[in-house]
Amino acid sequence: MDRAMIRRDFPILDQKINGKPLIYLDSAATSQKPRQVIEAVEKYYHEDNANVHRGVHTLGSRATDAYEGAREKVAAFIGAPSERQVVFTRGTTESLNMIAHGYARKRLREGDEIVITPMEHHSNLIPWQQAAMATGATLKYVPMQRDGTVSLADIEATVTQKTKIVAMVHVSNVLGTINPVKEAAAIAHRHGAVMIVDGAQSVPHMAIDVQDLDCDFLAFSGHKMMAPTGVGVLYGKREVLEQMEPAHFGGEMIETVELYRSTWKEIPWRFEGGTPIIAGAVGLAAAIDYLKGIGMDNVRRLDAELTNYALERLSAVEDLTIYGPLGERGGLVTFNVAGIHPHDVSTVLDSEGVAIRAGHHCAQPLMRWLNVAATARASFYVYNTENDIDVLARALETTKEFFGHAIG
Amino acid sequence: MQLDDLYRQVIMDHYQHPRNQGSIEGGVGDETLSVDLKNPTCGDEITLQMKIEEGLVTDVRFKGTGCSISMASASMMTEAIKGKPVEEALALAEEFRKMMKGEEFDADRMGDIEALAGVCRFPARIKCATLAWHALERGADKKN
């Protein structure tokens, strides 16, 4: 699979920023969209737009087919036994909050435990803080190794018979750590706990099979995997979805409505109150087609090759600290340049056309663990090339020169 | 976009050699107040202490972590308001706000702080520059 060929499918990348070719290295924040996705969304609005699940007319059927077809595509993409186990949401954050509110809170009692890691994104951390506060459950953290990984022995030691929930990020958005979620799920299940996987950074970048992982819930976002913003997925095993309470009541999700009580549709539709983001689901289906065209094993290989190249190139830049494990990791490199705040780094890189992320990456506890206020992060996808990394490395040298000169 | 518009020499000087850094002796009390402020989107933090006696800012100190723009802005702000009446400090904050919006402002009154005028052409960095000024306004509110 040729990176240059893939790159041509992404019209946004063909532009200049501050007079320099755009080098987009912020795909962990949101990915760019191939024209195939943009065209699918455009075609939907041009030809098929209607509300779903209600119109008897032709457009209503087309829109419903497109929306439900997208659900089938998602199910096949993650190896779900049935499309009925795929709930469309706004994104990972909403998916995780739905689990915490509709499933976990009903089951947690005082003294129960929720186990997470210190490398969670805020969206897989705050819902559990809140659930713990509301129910009297205890929030526990699996300790992290110095290299930013968690060990199975530590997971084993943290999960107890009191643990009801284990929630873990699959790939860290800061460290790139790939967590052993399959093994963690086995440990959780041995103790009678459910396993929740935050797949925001993994589903876009590697082949995922929920039955192989044996997780009870999986949450991810469309926009990080080439689909539009505003669409995400909550996958759940049938039995846990059956036990989950809907978060949004209203149209689309009901079976019978009486004056004082109502009943809900079957799963997954009972969780999709209100008109859903139909075009987003259409875009997600097109994104899945696109990714399948490349092949998820190829996506993973392209990510890994580029990450290794980036680690090699950036290690050669003096005064750079790179965070996270040196072994296998997701497609990103987080770093700091000695004496230069990441915002300043990012502004100088932007003047060279290079887009990276600077800040705490929605992971403040992890920043404290790293003992930094903020970091810079370059993240990759299949459309990035070795040239992008070379430009980044050169732009980092420029940054150091600029500040060295400015500070004198 | 010119980087030199943003990173002016005087800004880098304040970043490297911040004025009025630290805490006010004697700690927080009747006359000395303290404000902690964060920029939640990027993690910049500032603790601003002001000693206000008979309507005058008689001492001001800051501590914080952040980029060159946020720390230089804090340093310049403390230098500008020290010894001034609170109302004058607040009026300066208002001028600074105008400067960040790219509106006309009283350049004479701003002095060195005018070096930060280039920030308004870097929209992502305006919040960095205004953090300390928000802390000042928050502090003045506390006193009233």
One digit per residue, the tens of pLDDT, for chain B of length 144 reads 688 888 999 999 999 999 999 999 888 888 899 999 998 777 789 999 999 999 999 999 999 999 999 999 999 999 999 999 999 999 999 999 999 999 999 988 898 899 999 999 899 899 999 999 999 999 998 876
pLDDT of residue A406: 58
Mean pLDDT, chain A, whole residue set: 96
The size of the A-B interface in CB pairs under 8 A is: 50
| pLDDT tens for each residue of A217-230 | 999 999 999 999 99
Work out the minimum CA distance from A269 to partner chain B, whole angstroms. 35
Which amino acid is located at A396 in the chain? L
The nearest alpha carbon in chain A to B16 belongs to A407
Work out the minimum CA distance from A403 to partner chain B, whole angstroms. 9
The nearest alpha carbon in chain B to A341 belongs to B67
Question: Which positions in chain B touch A403 (Cβ < 8 Å)?
Answer: 7
Residue A90: left (phi > 0), alpha (psi -120 to 50), or beta? alpha
Specify the range with the lowest mean pLDDT, choosing from A21-25, A309-313, A383-387, B125-129.
B125-129
Mean pLDDT within A79-84: 98
Which residue pairs from A65-70 have beta carbons closer than 8 angstroms and sit at least 24 positions apart in sequence? A66/A278, A66/A281, A66/A282, A66/A285, A67/A276, A67/A278, A67/A281, A67/A282, A69/A285, A70/A281, A70/A282, A70/A284, A70/A285
pLDDT of residue B5: 85
The nearest alpha carbon in chain A to B123 belongs to A347
Contact status, residue A94 vs residue A83, Cβ threshold 8 Å: no
Question: Which positions in chain B touch A351 (Cβ < 8 Å)?
Answer: 1, 3
Q: Tell me which fold the domain B3-23+31-143 belongs to.
A: Sufe protein. Chain: A (3.90.1010)
Contact status, residue A244 vs residue A98, Cβ threshold 8 Å: yes
| Chain B contact residues (CB < 8 Å to A) | 1, 3, 6-7, 9, 12, 15-16, 41-45, 65-69, 122, 124-125, 128
- Residue A215 is a catalytic residue: no
In A162-256, which residue ranges form alpha helices assigned H by DSSP?
181-190, 210-213, 238-243
Q: CA–CA separation, A385 vs A10, rounded Å?
A: 13
Greater pLDDT, A392 or B30 = A392
pLDDT of residue B70: 95
Question: Which positions in chain A touch B122 (Cβ < 8 Å)?
Answer: 347
Question: Which positions in chain A touch B9 (Cβ < 8 Å)?
Answer: 406
Residues A364, A27, A394: CA angle, nearest 5 degrees: 95
Mean pLDDT within A270-297: 97
pLDDT of residue A405: 66
Q: Do B125 and A406 touch (CB under 8 A)?
A: no
Provide the 3-class DSSP secondary structure of residue A116.
Answer: strand
| Chain A contact residues (CB < 8 Å to B) | 18, 341-344, 347-348, 350-351, 358-360, 364, 367, 373-374, 402-403, 406-408
| pLDDT tens for each residue of A17-45 | 999 999 999 999 999 999 999 999 999 99
Q: Do A344 and B67 touch (CB under 8 A)?
A: yes
Question: Which positions in chain A touch B68 (Cβ < 8 Å)?
Answer: 341, 344
Provide the 3-class DSSP secondary structure of residue A353.
Answer: coil
The nearest alpha carbon in chain A to B44 belongs to A373
Nearest by CB: A343 against B9, B16, B42:
B42
Work out the minimum CA distance from A70 to partner chain B, whole angstroms. 34
Which residue pairs from A141-145 have beta carbons closer than 8 angstroms and sit at least 24 positions apart in sequence? A141/A115, A141/A116, A141/A117, A142/A115, A142/A116, A142/A117, A142/A118, A142/A168, A143/A118, A144/A117, A144/A118, A144/A119, A144/A369
The nearest alpha carbon in chain B to A18 belongs to B1
**Band of residue A407 on the pLDDT scale cut at 50, 70, 90:** low
Nearest by CB: A407 against B3, B6, B16:
B16
Which of the residues A187, A234, A362, A376 is marked catalytic? A362
Question: Which positions in chain B touch A406 (Cβ < 8 Å)?
Answer: 7, 9, 12
CB count within 10 Å of CB A80 equals 24
Q: Do B7 and A342 touch (CB under 8 A)?
A: no
